[in-house]
Amino acid sequence: MAKQDKLYIIKIGGNVIDNSRNLHEFLKDFHDLEGFKILVHGGGKVATELGKDLGVEPKMIDGRRITDVETLRIVTMVYAGLINKNIVAQLQFRGCNAIGLTGADGNLIRAQKRPVKEIDYGFVGDLHETSVASHMLSKILEDGLIPVFSAITHDGEGQLLNTNADTIASAIAVAMSKHYETSLIYCFEKKGVLKDVDDDDSVVREIPSGDFEQLKSDGIVAGGMIPKLHNAFEAIKSGVSEVFIGKADELDQLSKQTFGTRLIN
């Protein structure tokens, strides 16, 4: 293991997971990416649909899922089971020796149950600076395996926890930046940060941290993109080399430096 070794941590969400064609194309590009790599995935719509089939209606507050006991059972089955193992099997088919993981496996990601304040989110995990066992994760990478993390962690006391996949990806990137030159890549439905939200080709190719406040003032960065970029720049301040935000089906453009928006210090 050497600090100069390159590591990519890539997070995908429902726009990839819910569409088999999108997932197929993404995994092909993920396979072609050279260097060490880790994949983090969310749950898409599958958990919600299965829950409804089982008579468990999703409980949401401000767009966030409340994870009660029944919901935790469902998201664990879907995230750590069905989705995770499907991705691992498809990567094996492509010659990537992937291993599907939750945070409980190898004690790789230990979270804390979110404290109850105004809202009780249930069995939701929050991460802290020492959550990720970076040395253990490095051993997995050095053994030639490609970790595929679902959005399930644990508290070290026998309790599984539902944890935001964006947060998991960021925490892994920060922890691993002590060992590797680390790039964090968030794949979502847009091509990147757009100057004009109605023009998919108006991508802002690079944003230094010093330009963030001005872009917010100009309204170019707004809504849900504000916390996403804020968290990205926090990761960069904590040692991550760069963060990309872009569309999953353009991952092959990463080597050509024409993928999405690149965020730098």
In tens digits, what is the pLDDT along the chain, a chain of 265 residues? 556 799 999 999 988 999 999 999 999 999 999 999 999 999 878 999 999 999 998 888 877 789 999 999 999 999 999 999 999 999 999 999 999 999 999 999 999 999 999 999 999 999 999 999 999 999 999 999 999 999 999 999 999 999 999 999 999 999 999 999 999 999 988 899 998 888 988 999 999 999 999 999 988 888 878 888 888 999 999 999 999 999 999 999 998 888 999 999 8
Rounded Cα distance between 169 and 12, Å, is 10
Q: Is 254 exposed, middle or buried (0-12, 13-18, 19+ CB in 10 A)?
A: buried
The owner of tokens 């998919």 is: 200
Count the neighbouring beta carbons within 10 Å of the beta carbon of residue 50.
16
CB-based contact 261:244 (threshold 8 Å):
yes
- Residue 65: per-residue pLDDT: 82
Going by the annotation, the residues of the binding site are 43-44, 65, 162
Delineate the domains of the chain, giving CATH numbers in brackets.
6-190 (3.40.1160.10)
Rounded Cα distance between 181 and 144, Å, is 17
Going by the annotation, the residues of the binding site for substrate are 43-44, 65, 162
- Residue 196: per-residue pLDDT: 87
Cβ burial 214-249 (10 Å sphere, 16+ → b, else e): ebeeeebbeeebeebbebbbebbeeebbbbbbbbbb
Rounded Cα distance between 153 and 164, Å, is 10
Largest separation between any pair of C-alpha atoms in the chain: 51
Amino acid at 148: V
Rounded Cα distance between 173 and 65, Å, is 24
- Residue 126: per-residue pLDDT: 97
- Residue 3: per-residue pLDDT: 62
- Residue 220: per-residue pLDDT: 87
Pair type for strands 181-188 and 6-12: parallel
- Residue 53: per-residue pLDDT: 94
DSSP-assigned beta bridge partners for residue 65: 60
